[in-house]
Structure 1
């Protein structure tokens, strides 16, 4: 006898998942969506299968906030294995070059400032970037030559956590589009050796950090109402942005996509990006221009 079809729920909020090793981001979203019975789900920033750490998963209306969270600052902790370069710039690939040189701590710390600020970075050939509509990793796996041009990225800070002869651990605070695998490769080459990422953990994405994270095992151990209680509200995705609080009439107008004049002492005149709320719920994201809140995306909560 066929099992009754599971009813999908219209539920909204964030699951800040500590993605386990050897699971794709798509698989993680599917698992969380199933656990919550959610009608709609997505993630804010792909994390490599061999990486662990923060994968913000949006349910329902939170999916509208994915671009803001995805563009947020990220923190990674990673290991560089010295002495070998691989096709994928991590442990998954084949070794393509080796070196006997092992940098000392002073030399490593001396080159790190060269990898901060706005720098040019060549993405790994095994990446999800598209070339003429095809994913780079699909072309690379097919044996085709992949030529990815260097791109500007922003690295706020990079520091040495622990140094060893065969492996060193670093932490980087960076912006959208940064490939840690490329950082490891380029740092090693700058030191006259070869290297690849041996371990990678994402400790933060935008407003979400390790201390917010839940494991799949923790969620599986709970009943549905217990899981629901751990959902973070949609507005937490905007915790890094200014908040505009609306009155009932303003909220009604904004929900219909209309701009509203902000009044009262201290009302802002211009803000590039912000979010508007009413009674603690997100109404819209947008900007303030000439004292008016201009909605860009409206939320139905």
Structure 2
């Protein structure tokens, strides 16, 4: 007898803590990728750290349980991309998904490497960038792409972003591939269009791959297909601890008594050798090597908590770390 939808047994969920580095496939939304990974891990709570368009691939850090408390760190982190530009082609959306507005093959083929290098240099450093109409940025509660699809133009104020570097990876005829390191909030589609405009041939984005986010790299990520092929225990072993999102922050370690007080959220006066200078971000640990407690900042010699794990989450992460270490010995 076939069960009706109301009779189907729901998959039991469980508390899972950590960060999964996913290599998002082409054509899948970030939320769909998150839901598939969440189902495979049977996780109770999960969230991603910034969307990738369906036409983009690459690094998508997924946070589970206690890891979700630090997702904003990854959202705010610098990003790295590999982008392929189609020179001589402009579209309504700035990428391959839109309708063609103009083709200028002759102008694209006349472009020189020196011109490309000069155009990339022009957009390196702090720049003002106007977000594209085809984006999820909201205006009066609705994403801009809804207005764009309805043929409605919305004036958007420019935003200051920083392009740390643009390097030419490959260039053949109309296809130009660049590696970009940039601050959060940078639209690579807009960068592609801007480079095309300076080159006087036009350009659109034909492919985009996120290769890095803060200290994390796509080389460490796993595909959904590979994740699905693993056992549940193997999937859980891939989870990185929540502090992997904070790996490039300075570390502060507390003794047992101070660690317990820190977890209550109270401000703590630090010893002179622990931190006399102000520090914007610090990751805090107890005496055990893997006893991550949370994030904080130091002001006037005081340790001030920002995001804390619960004692139960600390114990769970310590237990998971111990099991993982035993499994690889």
TM-score, normalised to structure 2, is 0.89
1:126 and 2:131 matched: no
CA distance in 1, matches of 2:273, 2:128: 45
> Residues 233-252 of structure 1: matches in 2 within 5 Å?
233-252=241-260
> 267-276 or 180-189: which moved more?
267-276
* Residue aligning to 1:220: 228
* Residue aligning to 1:201: 209
CA distance in 2, matches of 1:118, 1:83: 26
> 257-266 or 87-96: which moved more?
257-266
CA distance in 2, matches of 1:220, 1:147: 44
Indicate conservation of the 8 Å contact 1:76/1:203, yes or no. yes
Indicate conservation of the 8 Å contact 2:252/2:274, yes or no. no
CA distance in 1, matches of 2:223, 2:150: 35
Helix, strand or coil for the counterpart of 1:16?
strand
* Residue aligning to 1:256: 264
- 1:292 is aligned, of 283, 289, 302, to 302
CA distance in 1, matches of 2:12, 2:263: 28
1:95 and 2:100 matched: yes
RMSD: 1.2
Indicate conservation of the 8 Å contact 2:76/2:184, yes or no. yes
CA distance in 1, matches of 2:42, 2:95: 35
> 167-176 or 256-265: which moved more?
256-265
Helix, strand or coil for the counterpart of 2:16?
coil
Which structure would you say has the larger Rg? 2
TM-score, normalised to structure 1, is 0.97
CA distance in 2, matches of 1:274, 1:142: 46
CA distance in 1, matches of 2:306, 2:57: 33
CA distance in 1, matches of 2:8, 2:271: 56
1:108 and 2:113 matched: no
Indicate conservation of the 8 Å contact 1:119/1:153, yes or no. yes
Structure 2, unaligned runs of 5 or more: 314-329
Structure 1, unaligned runs of 5 or more: none
* Residue aligning to 1:29: 34
Indicate conservation of the 8 Å contact 1:104/1:165, yes or no. no
Indicate conservation of the 8 Å contact 1:269/1:292, yes or no. no
Displacement of 1:133 in angstroms is 1.8
CA distance in 2, matches of 1:123, 1:85: 16
- 1:20 is aligned, of 25, 48, 56, to 25
Aligned residues: 301
* Residue aligning to 2:63: 58
CA distance in 2, matches of 1:269, 1:64: 26
CA distance in 1, matches of 2:274, 2:309: 25
Indicate conservation of the 8 Å contact 2:18/2:241, yes or no. yes
Indicate conservation of the 8 Å contact 1:90/1:197, yes or no. yes
Indicate conservation of the 8 Å contact 1:74/1:174, yes or no. yes
CA distance in 2, matches of 1:261, 1:218: 47
Larger helix fraction of residues: 2
Helix, strand or coil for the counterpart of 1:46?
coil
CA distance in 2, matches of 1:220, 1:230: 12
Displacement of 1:266 in angstroms is 4.8
CA distance in 1, matches of 2:25, 2:8: 30
Helix, strand or coil for the counterpart of 1:163?
strand
Helix, strand or coil for the counterpart of 1:54?
strand
CA distance in 1, matches of 2:220, 2:271: 36
